Structure 1
Amino acid sequence: MADEANALVRELASHTSPSDIAKRVREDHLKVSNAQVYNAWRTVVEAFWKRDQNQLVSAEKLLREYEEVVDVFTPTGIPADVEILCWGMKIIASRLQTHVIEVAMDATYNTNARQLELYAVMAEYDNAGFPLAYCLLSTTSAISPGKRKKSLTAFTACLRDAYNIHPEFTHVDKDLGEITALQSVWKDAKVSICWWHVDDAVGKRIRNSKLSTTPYKVKRAHHNFTFIALDFLPRVRADKAEYEGGKPDDEVSNDEEPLPPTQNPLRLIFKLKKAPPRKVDANGIPLLHLPRVDDIFYDNDEPEQPSEEGEGDGSEASDLEPWPAMGEKRKHTGNTDSRHFCPEELQSKVLSLMQQHSFRESFAHPLIPGFSAPTPDAICYWAIKQAYALCHKNDSPELWAYLWENWYRTKRWELWTRSSHSSIPRLRTTMISESHW
């Protein structure tokens, strides 16, 4: 580009967007393209923030130049193959530390060519969201078990310890890695899954026609609530990979009765019933029973006679489907399984019922009398019985297996409903984080 065009880019780079700069430059230099202006702008602004060729190293060096504004954390317990950079907003967090009642955690993925994950913890105060801390995380090349959970736990622990943040509620989407980290750091806080994410996840699944769903532990369900029938089971093989938010840690424990192990796993053991004693004659000789000749060829005592109309020409088999000719496939005339995971007319009822149970429409909470039972356990019983009755009445065992294992069973129910906590949070969603992005 001409020197005059480069000079104009340098003059406007600090306070003007690249698109506006391109318009200004092309007014006097028609042959200059937008790409040329963008490349020139990038070269100028890189001097403001680029400190190293490595992105995380460059970001850390830049943040440490602003120590009066931010605190660069040094998390502990991070797997060696994980790259992480986390920092706190010193001015905001230090002023809000005694006023934080609710926080929300969310992430945005694929932020750049290295596919870094960017996490933010937002505080709610006076109906507004304030950023407390951020974390840049890269686990793409890591193979350590529990890499995300350990990294996020270390990050949130730094936030807690640096600014004495102890919220009563933590809001999150259905990602179990984030949920586990928040539960580990703030053990007394109630984790609350964003209702928008619950509604979105359930809505997508019940509109999916696939019958196979989350593995269902019916004995555990019946043990907790005896009205759940042991024979109300999915009729298809379970999908072991289908868990909302990822496979839970408590799923590794098997509550079902294990089969007795064999001494040799390659050997099959058969248990046969003891044969009854054989009859003997007066001389003690065992009797041998021989079938009649007619029994060898016919099922009945008498041979079947041909009908008057058929005259033995095979007309008695006229109702049977003829065997296909060579090379043809046999047609199945039986009724196919026309069941649906969740019939269309049932979908709105499921979502409406879950809205009531989550407090969104029914205000089901011990602090609000008049609508439901007055205790958390009674509200839980009332809600689960309603959900089970809806599935049982509509003969949808696969739907019930999905709802129970992902939303209604122990340790899942308390994540998305408000009645399990003595107080009522102000936030229903993680929208303060979504709007922040």
Structure 2
Amino acid sequence: MSSNGSDPVVKCSRCKYTGPQSSFPRLANFTYTKHCHDCAKIRKGRGKKNTATTDTSERVRDTRGKDTSGEPMPQLSLAQCLSLLEKHRSDAFELHAQVNIGKLAIPEGKGRTAKTLASAFARSAWDSTGYRWNLRMHRPLTSDSATINSEFYCAQLEGEQTDNKLHEDESKQRARVKMTRYHCNGWLNVTINERKMDEAVIRVSHHIPHPLYNDISIPTEAKKIIETSHNSTPTKIYEALIKQFPAIKITEKQVYRHWSDINKANWRKKDDQVASAAALLAEYDGLAVDVIEIKPEDGLSTIAFSFRDIINDFGVDTQSIAMDSTWKTNAAGYELYAIVAEANGTALPLAFVFTTSSGNLAEGAKTRMLEQVLQAVGKKCPNICFVHSDKDLSEINAAQSVFPDAKHQLCMWHGPRYVKERLAENKLPAHYDPRKAHQRFSFIDPTWAPGVMRRVFDDSEDESDPEDDDNGPKSYTSLPPLFILVQDGVRRPVYPNPPKPQKADLGEFCPAEFRELTLDLYTIHGRLHPEIPINDTDEPYLSADDLYKSAVYDMYFHCWDNDLVQVWAYMWNRWYSPSQWVLWARAPEAAIPRIHTTMIVESLWKHIKHRDLSDFNRPRLDLVTYIIIQNLLPRVQRNLEDLQQSRRMGRGPSLVGWQKDFRMAWTELSKSDSQHRIDRAADWVQNAKNANDREHRLARIAANAGRTAGNYITDLQKWVCSCPAFLYSRFMLCKHLVHYTNEALDNKPLKDLAMFANLRRNHLPPYYRIPGIHGDESAVDSDGPEDMPEIHILGRGISRSQSVSSMARSSVMDSENEVDDFLTTTVSARNSDMEMDEDGSEEFDINSETRDSADRQIRALASDDEDGSNDRVYLSEAELKSIKRNINAVYDTISQTTGMAAPLAKALLPKVNALDKIGKQIRENKRRRKMPRTYKDSTNITLTLD
């Protein structure tokens, strides 16, 4: 028990009262009793007490703060009672009165009972006194069960604090200073008879004034705002509350907790977060997502799903995908994989995988899991030509297994990063066998390996006693050769197996002065391609094999000349061996992918972590899954609509992100060299870090001004250039191509925004189709003024009671059904009669029976007899634009340089050829017709043309 000087604090032996000993009664011998004044009065029979009750604790609570003067109990209104409490809030006070509580308001949604009225009065007393009254109990009197006595105590009363249970993990226990408490004897009793609930007996006491209770809970008004804004994020809700209630004393964590309590039913299906995430996906399966079934593996837990609408709408058009993983997105510690499609330079997430492994993971389990995911994606995406990833073996092996014909391209950002970091690490390379490298390229020395001295023997030297080269590096050691290999008169020692090097025997892995040049060589080699010329007028184009050999030659002799044997061992093992070269270099594949890195996936992680999950600290796995479906998926759907231009129907197409950057680069490259130097000088004058830096940069600009311009091979038709800028360009762009194009088109690209909106990066040359350089795709066949369309005078032949729109709509619907039947018949016939011509081209034939049937259907559609001579069909502008857009999409698909998948061609080409036949007859008829319409030289299709 705490004490204060010579007046110790003691507790009553009969009730819960605790206070200074001086507040207890004294006996005749001046000693203090063990019970308080109230208990002493009850014991001696003084004052009023309930003689029918035998429960000591109830008697104590019933008489706590009771007026024992014998005077009649005052009758007060609710307003008078609360006014008295507010007036004496800074004093020691007691009140025992009968109060009319008929006007006491209770919280919305709660019934008017004795308990709710007592709690409502305690809240009103809190507002009046500034002291918070916490409920201790609601208890009916023993003498009358209809009378409820509600007991409250001051929240700052010493001895009544709640004993909060601490977390079992000490590291998770909160460091929180306890609130200061006082021996204020603050008690509030509210007694209400349920048969007469307009009146209450109020007994309240508070003997020691102390600082008022500071309420930091969420106000009711704020709770209502949180509940109505539950679809928003906690951070945004908190910012709105602070703006609306500047004096509010709540924290963002409180808002998050209340928001979570309201919304957790949406994602928390089970207590176990992994099982809950699986149950959540089961609810969305077939609606927003498609759950990907994964075969269970020991030591591996996986949850996988795809975006249903995205992969169904864009799967056939998907040619490039990128895959990568990230960590620290959920409290369960699951790694998150994403498979993202490239759509005109924009990221479209297709599938996600949550996975984690334990110590008993079987070998290859992760690869098999990714194979199953990629197989599910491949079913909806049959035309995948490129797969991008970092140097994760499980991703590489899975992709090569599922898409054996696709080019696997390592990220051109991660690759140089790996090399740069490895060159700075001073550790041994992996085992390198120069004999195997020599078998592939004869110029590689079969004896040059880490731990073996580089040495060439000539005929004058003794084979059995080779001497060390005093001028050579001292860190290499030599072992006796197994035999001497004689090549072109040069004798080389050959070892049975290169000795295992020791770190102590070797020098630095790669000295700092060679790292930048090594990295530059690696970067250039990765970007070489047979379709991109080198600056050699005699032989500008090299084959893929020649480029590979040239790259190995450059890197090998760079390492040879600078004694970088460890670097060469690493570069061969990890990058330049045949099995590794095809993974990261562009040269082995005829087509060049549109994207060079996996940044579309990295950008996705940035959005998920910094936009969607930034409001949460280690969220549950089911919550992360819910956020991906509810927050990310709608944005992806909007991006797809923008790409398909469906949102801007009837308006000009908008430029996507890369097209805006391309246009800016084009504008910048259109400047002359002198203008470039002026702009760069002005930029450095304004933004240089200091005077020395400014002078150094300006001196470099001045030196470059006198440099002779290089001569490069530039081919506008193939859209390639041999300059280094083109090789490194993100857009396959350089100033030579830009200047020549501007000159040929009279600077039209600088003014024509539509050219950039219609740009598409091709996988094969020409890598861009520029109107005016590679043909004007927007041009239409024109033979003169006679091809101008006839102007239709609307409204003729339509009765006043007939709606133009309804007639046109029904006519269009009937025509669509009949044309569809015709195309179906044509497709079946062509599929059955499909055969290959001698030159490999597909040839289709329609038998006479099918042709006659088709002619009859076309004649019926095109007839202009009395029954329908005046019926005209008009399409709305939106319908016309939709038809034009879809036809253009079909043309882009069948004209792509990478070809089409066989199933797509089988389904698409018959219909395209049928429409091509109709269009051809219409064009020929329009060119030929000079006289009014007759039956001569007309077909069933052209007979009714205006």
Among residues 284, 288, 292, which one is paired with 1:69 in the alignment? 288
Q: CA deviation at 1:116?
A: 0.5
- State the alpha-carbon separation in 1 of the partners of residues 276 and 353 from structure 2: 15
Tell me the TM-score normalised to structure 1 length.
0.72
1:367 aligns with 2:531: yes
CA pair 10-257 structure 1, distance change in 2 beyond 3 A: farther
Within the candidate set 499, 509, 513, 1:341 is matched to 509
Once the two structures are TM-superposed, the CA of residue 24 in structure 1 deviates from its matched residue by: 4.0
Partner of 2:264: 46
SS at match of 2:578: coil
Cα offset for 1:337? 7.8
Q: Distance in 2 between matches of 1:51 and 1:339?
A: 60
Amino acid at match of 1:71: D
Q: 1:211-261, CA deviations, whole angstroms, 9 ceiling, x for partnerless residues? A: 41221122211111121112211139xxxxxxxxxxxxxxxxxxx9689xx
Question: Is residue 3 from structure 1 mapped to residue 220 from structure 2 by the alignment?
Answer: yes
Q: What is the letter of the counterpart of residue 408 of structure 1?
A: Y
Q: Which amino acid aligns with 2:559?
A: C
The alignment status of 1:435 with 2:603, answered yes or no, reads: yes
The one-letter code matched in structure 2 to 1:97 is G
AA aligned opposite 1:369: P
Mapped partners of 1:107, 1:211: distance in 2: 27
What root-mean-square deviation, in Å, do the aligned CA atoms of Structure 1 and Structure 2 show?
2.3
Q: Aligned to 1:193, which of 410, 421, 425?
A: 410
**Superposition deviation, residue 148 in structure 1:** 1.1
Aligned residues: 334
Matching residue of 1:314: none
Could you tell me how far apart the structure 2 residues matched to 1:100 and 1:141 are? 37
- 1:138 aligned residue: 356
Task: Determine if the alignment matches structure 1 residue 180 to structure 2 residue 348.
Answer: no
Mapping 1:77-88, distance limit 5 Å: 78-88=296-306
Please report how far the alpha carbon of residue 13 of structure 1 lies from its aligned counterpart in structure 2 after TM superposition.
Answer: 2.4
The aligned residue for residue 111 of structure 1 is 329
Deviation at 1:172, TM superposition (A): 0.4
Q: CA deviation at 1:65?
A: 2.7
* Offset from partner CA, 1:28-48 (integer Å, 9 cap, x none): 663323322221122222122
- Displacement of 1:120 in angstroms is 0.9
Q: 1:123 and 1:377 mapped to 2: Cα distance?
A: 30
1:433–1:52 distance in 2 versus 1, CA, 3 Å: same
Q: 1:366 to 1:97 in 2, by over 3 A?
A: same
**Local SS of the residue matching 1:170:** strand
- Residues 34 and 89 of structure 1: is their aligned pair in 2 closer, same or farther, counting only changes over 3 Å? closer
In the alignment, the residues of structure 2 paired with residue 346 and residue 127 of structure 1 have an alpha-carbon distance, to the nearest angstrom, of 36
Write the distance in 2 (CA, Å) between the matches of 1:22 and 1:423: 52
> Are 1:147 and 2:365 an aligned pair?
yes
Match of 1:36 among 248, 251, 254: 254
Please give the alpha-carbon distance, in whole angstroms, between the structure 2 residues aligned to 1:379 and 1:350: 17
- Contact kept? 1:211, 1:398, Cα under 8 Å: no
Instruction: Confirm or deny: 8 A CA contact 1:106 1:430 kept in the other structure.
Output: yes
What SS does the aligned partner of 2:529 have?
A: coil
Deviation digits for residues 61-117 of structure 1, max 9, x if unmatched?
2223332221111134x4143211111111111122221111101111232222101
| Superposition TM-score, scaled by structure 2 size | 0.34
Letter of the 2:220 partner, please give it: D
- Map of 1:316-331 to 2, 5 A cutoff? none
Deviations 1:8-29 (A, max 9, x none): 32222212x3223234445366
Alignment match, 1:169: 386
Identify if the C-alpha distance between structure 1 residues 426 and 23 changes in structure 2 by more than 3 Å, giving closer, same or farther.
Answer: closer
Instruction: Tell me how far apart the structure 2 counterparts of residues 346 and 134 of structure 1 sit (CA, whole Å).
Output: 41
Counterpart in 2 of 1:229? 445
Question: Structure 2: which 5+ runs fail to align?
Answer: 1-216, 453-494, 499-503, 606-946
Give the Cα–Cα distance (whole angstroms) in 2 for the partners of residues 186 and 388 of structure 1: 32
Counterpart amino acid of residue 372 in structure 2 = A
CA contact (8 A) 1:103 1:171 kept: yes
Report the residue type matching 1:185 in the other structure: V
CA distance, structure 1, for counterparts of residue 405 and residue 299 of structure 2: 31
Partner deviation per Cα, 1:293-318 (whole Å, 9 max, x = no partner): xxxxxxxxxxxxxxxxxxxxxxxxxx
The AA in structure 2 aligned to 1:4 is: E
C-alpha deviation, 1:370, in angstroms: 3.8
Letter in 2 for 1:62: L
Gaps of 5+ in 1: 237-255, 260-335
Residues 152-194 of structure 1, C-alpha deviation per residue, up to 9 Å, x if partnerless?
1111112112x14341110001111111110111111110000
Q: Distance in 2 between matches of 1:7 and 1:110?
A: 33
Name the structure 2 match of 1:409.
577
Deviation of 1:340 after TM superposition, in Å, equals 2.4
Instruction: Tell me the distance in 1 between the aligned counterparts of 2:601 and 2:381.
Output: 21
Aligned equivalents of 1:383 and 1:5: distance in 2? 67
Report whether the alignment pairs 1:419 with 2:590.
no
CA distance in 2, matches of 1:394, 1:380: 22
| 1:275 counterpart residue number | none
- Give the aligned partner of residue 220 of structure 1: 436
More relative contact order in 1 or in 2 (CA 8 Å, sep 6+)? Answer: 1
Aligned-partner SS, 1:387: helix
